[in-house]
Chains A and B, each alone.
Chain A
Amino acid sequence: MPTVRLTRAIEFSASLRYCRADLSAAENERLFGADAARHGHNYRLEVTLRGEPDAVTGMVIDLKELQTVLDREIMARFDHRDLNGDTPYFEKLAPTPENFATVIHRLLLAALPEGMLDRIRLQPESGVWVDITEPESRP
C-alpha cells in the first residue's frame, strides 16, 4: 500500500564535548581526539511522519501541531544549550551523532501519535548525517 510521508525540518545550535564521566580527561582525549574539547554545531533535524491523510483536512498531521511537539521536545531542550551541562542525556554517553539521534528518536517516538514517526535525520554538520528509521509495524 502506498503511504503518505511528510518531512518537517528544524535547525538548532548547541555546544558539546565528547566526554564519558567514567574516564579521565586524558583517556577522553585519547578516545575522542579533538571532539573531547568543547565545540558547537548548527544541527539540522528532519522529522518524517507517515500516515493516512485525514478525510476532511487532507493532512497526515497539522504542521502547527508537529511544530508544537518539536518546539517542546527538541528546541526547548537543546537549542542554545550545552548538551553535556544542560541536559541529562550525556552523563555516561558521549553526544556523538549516533547517540544524540537515538535520544531525539526516543523523545519523538514518545511524544508523537503512535505509529506516525517514520524517520529522523540528524545532521550535525554538512556532509554527515544519521538516520533512524522505524520499521512499518502496521498490517
Chain B
Amino acid sequence: MISVTRHYEFPAAHVLAHPDLSDEDNGRIYGKCANPNGHGHNYGVDVTVTGPIDPESGRIVEPKLVDELFADEILARFAHRTLNDDSAFRERVPTAENIARAIYDLLRPAIERRSTARLVRIGVRETGKNTFAYGDVA
C-alpha cells in the first residue's frame, strides 16, 4: 500500500475535564491537565491518505488541496482556540485521542468529496513525549 503524509501544526488551549464530573473527580482523573483555567500545546498533526496515483499528475492527491482543506476544516476551527468551546468536544473531553478522532471525522469526508484519495490516519503529537493516532493503518 502506498500512502502520502503531510504534517501540520497549530496551537490551541484545552482543559481536560468532563462537564458531568465534579472538580474533585476531574482532578483525580486528569491531574494538572484539569486546571480550570486551561493550558495549551502546539499540536502536530500528520494527515495520511492513500489511493491510486493519478497518471496525469503523478500524485495520490494534490498537496495544495490537502493544505486548503486542512486550513478550512481544521485550522480555521481549532487554531488559537480553546478546544472545549468547540461543538466537537461538547460530549467528549478534548484529549489527544479525541482530537485525532475529531480531525479524522472532519477531514475524511472533505477529502473524499474533492479527490480520489482516502484519509486513512491522523497522527497527533501533543508534546514531544506523547503521540497518538486514529485510523485504519498503524
Closest A residue, CB atoms, query B63 = A128
The residue in chain B whose Cβ has the minimal distance to the Cβ of A100 is B58
Q: Is B2 an interface residue (CB 8 A)?
A: yes
Least CB distance, A98 to chain B, in whole angstroms = 5
Asked if A135 is at the interface of the complex by the 8 Å CB criterion, the answer is yes
B1 touches A133 (CB 8 A): yes
Q: Cβ of A75 < 8 Å from any Cβ of B? A: no
Are A98 and B5 closer than 8 Å at their CB atoms?
no
Asked if A94 is at the interface of the complex by the 8 Å CB criterion, the answer is yes
Chain A interface category by residue count: 20 to 34
Are A93 and B58 interface neighbours, CB within 8 A?
A: yes
Kindly state whether residue A73 has any CB partner on chain B within 8 Å: no
Of all chain A residues, which has the CB nearest B60?
A: A98
Query: What residues of B have a CB within 8 angstroms of the CB of A97 in the complex?
Result: 4
Is A102 interfacial (CB-CB < 8 Å)? yes
Say yes or no: A130 contacts B2, CB within 8 Å: yes
Assess the B53–A99 pair: CB atoms within 8 A: yes
B90 on the A face (CB < 8 A): no
B56 interface hit (Cβ, 8 Å): yes
Bits for A89-112, please: 1 = Cβ < 8 Å to B, else 0.
000011111110110000000000
Interface residues of B (CB under 8 A from A): 1-8, 48, 53, 56-60, 63, 137
Q: Apart from A94-B58, A131-B4, A133-B3, what are 14 other A-B pairs with CB-CB below 8 Å?
A: A96-B57, A96-B58, A96-B59, A98-B53, A98-B59, A99-B53, A99-B58, A101-B2, A102-B2, A128-B6, A128-B7, A130-B2, A130-B5, A132-B1
